[in-house]
Homo-oligomer: A and B are copies of this chain.
């Protein structure tokens, strides 16, 4: 069992104590749930941090372990540690609930003489008078929790049993069912607003009906798998998740600024904030251990869980299109990977960048085509064009035939552009690029939506 260092123990204890004080104060003063959420996220960070250290050896003992092949001396480190994040996160969300609704409880029980009513025996069967209580929010929390817990179960199963890729791909759809059921039962709106230029053809609104549910299921499948595919170097899975979470939170803040209140979507974005802050908390604790040189691996559980958190806030917060804008690097990576994923170009088992033990740097990994299994000529020509526009690097034999190509992932492509990089440098550059693209996406979304719709949600 790996112990926390003394500095770590003091820092984490101090952080937890400060957060607890904030929590107690928030409870007593019926304060802003946002402060309580921040405080709980701080505690979640400290608890995750300590738990990763305390329980790592248990994972190794039970066979959840792997070797980091991008190191000079690969040692066995725990795998599937994202499970700890998921558990602490779920615990944090549950413990946040009383804070989220404290004000409403006070308002409901103190208003209209209900406190007196409450003491009458017959109300023991019916509970409080609830007509002023925001029950629809409560149901959202319940089903968000259910969806994320389901995703955790399926993530564990994926990390425990070897699943085939084509089975794994659809796993998130099952986990998303509670959320879709809630949407069906509660919200139920399957109309979308038509952009201005198209209104003369189809009208102001269009009812997508069942397709809207397919769209939501697609989001729920897409987000987790995207994060799972953009993986392979230390810290990239957690790093990209934190960047996305921070960008969504930034977008939420735009709707929560005092200057734009009252805003019809403020409640949805508060809900999003409450779900994202603890996620950022547990993820930072994981990043600390997964960053180069990694002490733990995150596992599919984390990738699925992170992706599903985003799908939940995007769908239940009704900003799934904006969400997709923040996934542009992942979407690019998915499309770019498609030729290998769908077998047009042969796909090796691992496509992560190749570690050059002599220089200590990462280089693009390659797939070679032997003479007995050559590429189809048309595919070869396509690869040559991609090479010319610098979207690949191929090697040609004497006959002009393509004998080798870099693998189709954004990480390899970045290394083609930038030359060999150390693992942490590559991670930093990818995350910086992702942040820049995300901010650009948000800027476009808020400045251009007025051209397409009658009003931006923000104003």
Q: Which residues of A contact B (CB under 8 A)?
A: 58, 62-63, 87, 90-91, 94-95, 97-98, 100-101, 105, 109, 118-119, 121-128, 130-131, 133, 135-136, 138-139, 141-143, 145-146, 149-150, 152-153, 156-157, 160-161, 174, 177-178, 181-182, 184-189, 191-193, 204-205, 264-265, 318, 457
**Can you report 24 residue pairs joining A to B where beta carbons are below 8 Å apart?**
A95-B177, A100-B185, A118-B189, A119-B191, A124-B191, A124-B193, A124-B205, A125-B264, A125-B457, A127-B187, A128-B186, A128-B187, A130-B136, A135-B138, A135-B186, A142-B145, A142-B146, A142-B182, A143-B145, A146-B146, A146-B149, A152-B153, A153-B156, A156-B156
Q: Are B91 and A188 in contact (CB under 8 A)?
A: no
**Contacting residues, chain B, for A185 (C-beta < 8 A):** 97-98, 100-101, 105, 138
Nearest residue, chain B, Cβ from A104: B185
Q: Shortest CB–CB separation between residue A151 and chain B, in angstroms?
A: 9
| Distance A145 CA – B135 CA, assembled complex (angstroms) | 17
Q: What is the predominant secondary structure among interface residues of chain A facing chain B?
A: helix
Instruction: List the 6 shortest-distance A-B pairs measured between CB atoms, nearest first.
Output: A142-B142, A149-B149, A135-B135, A145-B146, A127-B187, A97-B181
Most chain B CB neighbours (cut-off 10 Å) among A94, A157, A264: A94
Q: Shortest CB–CB separation between residue A145 and chain B, in angstroms?
A: 4
Nearest residue, chain B, Cβ from A184: B98
Nearest residue, chain B, Cβ from A453: B121
| Distance A105 CA – B122 CA, assembled complex (angstroms) | 29
Supply 8 further A-B pairs (C-beta < 8 A) apart from A62-B160, A149-B149, A156-B156: A97-B182, A98-B181, A126-B264, A127-B189, A128-B189, A131-B131, A133-B186, A135-B135
Q: Are B153 and A87 in contact (CB under 8 A)?
A: yes
**Contacting residues, chain B, for A153 (C-beta < 8 A):** 87, 149, 152-153, 156
| Distance A55 CA – B187 CA, assembled complex (angstroms) | 37
Q: Are B150 and A188 in contact (CB under 8 A)?
A: no
Q: Shortest CB–CB separation between residue A260 and chain B, in angstroms?
A: 14
Nearest residue, chain B, Cβ from A155: B153
Choose one: B125, B145, B191, B204; the contact of A178 (CB below 8 Å).
Answer: B145
Choose one: B87, B139, B150; the contact of A139 (CB below 8 Å).
Answer: B139
**Contacting residues, chain B, for A145 (C-beta < 8 A):** 142-143, 146, 178
Q: Shortest CB–CB separation between residue A96 and chain B, in angstroms?
A: 9
**Contacting residues, chain B, for A119 (C-beta < 8 A):** 191, 205
Q: Shortest CB–CB separation between residue A275 and chain B, in angstroms?
A: 14
Q: Are A128 and B188 in contact (CB under 8 A)?
A: yes
Q: Shortest CB–CB separation between residue A189 and chain B, in angstroms?
A: 5
| Distance A150 CA – B191 CA, assembled complex (angstroms) | 34
Q: Shortest CB–CB separation between residue A22 and chain B, in angstroms?
A: 19
Q: Shortest CB–CB separation between residue A118 and chain B, in angstroms?
A: 7
Q: Are B94 and A178 in contact (CB under 8 A)?
A: yes
**Contacting residues, chain B, for A181 (C-beta < 8 A):** 94-95, 97-98
Nearest residue, chain B, Cβ from A97: B181
**Contacting residues, chain B, for A152 (C-beta < 8 A):** 149, 153
Q: Are A177 and B139 in contact (CB under 8 A)?
A: no
Q: Shortest CB–CB separation between residue A274 and chain B, in angstroms?
A: 13
Q: Are A161 and B90 in contact (CB under 8 A)?
A: no
| Distance A204 CA – B118 CA, assembled complex (angstroms) | 13
Nearest residue, chain B, Cβ from A264: B125
Q: Shortest CB–CB separation between residue A62 and chain B, in angstroms?
A: 6
